[in-house]
Amino acid sequence: MPQRYSYHKIDHADRIGFDPADYSRFKFGDDAIARRFGTELATGFISEVLSQEDPGQVVVIPSPYAFIPTATFAMKTYFVHVLNSWLAVSGYQVVQEAKVHRTVTYKEDYGELDAGERKRLIGNDSFHIDKAFVEGKTLVFLDDIRITGSHEWMIRKMIDTFGLNNRIYLLYYAELMNNQIHPRIENDLNYAAVKSIFDLEPIIRGRFAFNTRFVKYVLNTDPSVFAAFIGGQDEEFIETLYHLAVGNGYHAIDAYAGNLAFIRTHYLHNSKQTQIHGN
């Protein structure tokens, strides 16, 4: 039976244990905050859980994604750094990593949905893992926050489907414990520091890592606002945004297709012409 661990436990909407603005910036790619969150989660998990027994071969698995990683992927990097340091000093094997593959991408903002809507939406997806690789190992599934448990329900469903009899931990930076608090608290946290696309500028200018939420939010912006925002970014940013989006199939989603076409026409095309003909 998987064991759950969360670093912060939310019992009151006005006392969540961390800064909502920090969490919001983390969700939109602030890598410095991802480092802090990952470090805190690893430190707590080691102290309260993992240090109590021989962990065996640990495999760390971030939240499922297709092509563009989630914010949890950035947190995972620093979680592994701390965990590896402890494992090495303690004489244990260092971490291996694995991925849960998913097959469906969607436009809906998960944080806005209630429990039933979340389960219906994610229920259309399917999760896959390399069973042969993880067999006999200690599995640590990471996610940033647990609100209704619908993602966890899918992970547990995958565990049952693949017949995983491993020692399994389900880890969260934060977990909503009070079911009287509406799941939309997640949406409030996600957007605490981001009220418009231009609030992303200080995140981009700092230690930044692209993720699915960032890409979807930017592409779903009104075309005129999107054009103004993109006009202030450098070539590397624009090309990375475009290729990540295409890799995740966003060019086939109407809400994103127009802004991707704008990049392709006004930036990628011009870049190619410059390469061919010179300035």
137-160 pLDDT, tens digit per residue, is 999 999 999 999 988 998 999 999
Residue 182 lies in a domain: yes
Residues 32 and 132 in one domain: yes
- Give the domain range for residue 86: 3-190
Identify the pLDDT of residue 97: 98
Q: Which residues of the chain have pLDDT under 50?
A: 272-279
Residues 114 and 244 in one domain: no
Residue 103 lies in a domain: yes
Distance CA 97, CA 148 (A): 26
Distance CA 194, CA 225 (A): 15
Distance CA 180, CA 188 (A): 16
**Token pair listed for 199:** 């609030």
Identify the pLDDT of residue 279: 40
Residues 62 and 181 in one domain: yes
Domain boundary among 136, 158, 190: 190
Residues 108 and 180 in one domain: yes
Identify the pLDDT of residue 123: 54
Distance CA 82, CA 77 (A): 9
Residue 279 lies in a domain: no
Kind and range of the H or E run holding 145: strand 138-146
Which of 99, 97, 62, 88 is closest to 209 using CA atoms? Answer: 62
Do residues 245 and 217 touch, judged by C-beta distance below 8 A? Answer: no
Residues 129 and 230 in one domain: no
CATH code of the domain containing 145 = 3.40.50
What are the Cα distances from residue 228, in Å, to 68, 218, 221, 259?
24, 12, 11, 12
Stated pTM of the model: 0.89
Residues 168 and 239 in one domain: no
Distance CA 95, CA 85 (A): 10
Residues 76 and 206 in one domain: no
Residue 278 lies in a domain: no
Quick check: helix, strand or coil at residue 76? helix
Residues 253 and 269 in one domain: yes
Distance CA 72, CA 79 (A): 10
Domain boundary among 172, 190, 208: 190
Strand ranges, E, within the chain: 3-10, 58-61, 96-97, 101-102, 127-128, 138-146, 168-176
Residues 118 and 171 in one domain: yes
Domain boundary among 190, 223, 244: 190
Residues 49 and 167 in one domain: yes
Residue 97 lies in a domain: yes
What are the Cα distances from residue 262, in Å, to 48, 226, 249, 251, 259?
50, 9, 16, 11, 5
Residues 65 and 23 in one domain: yes
Residue 174 lies in a domain: yes
| Number of domains composing the chain | 2
Residues 160 and 223 in one domain: no
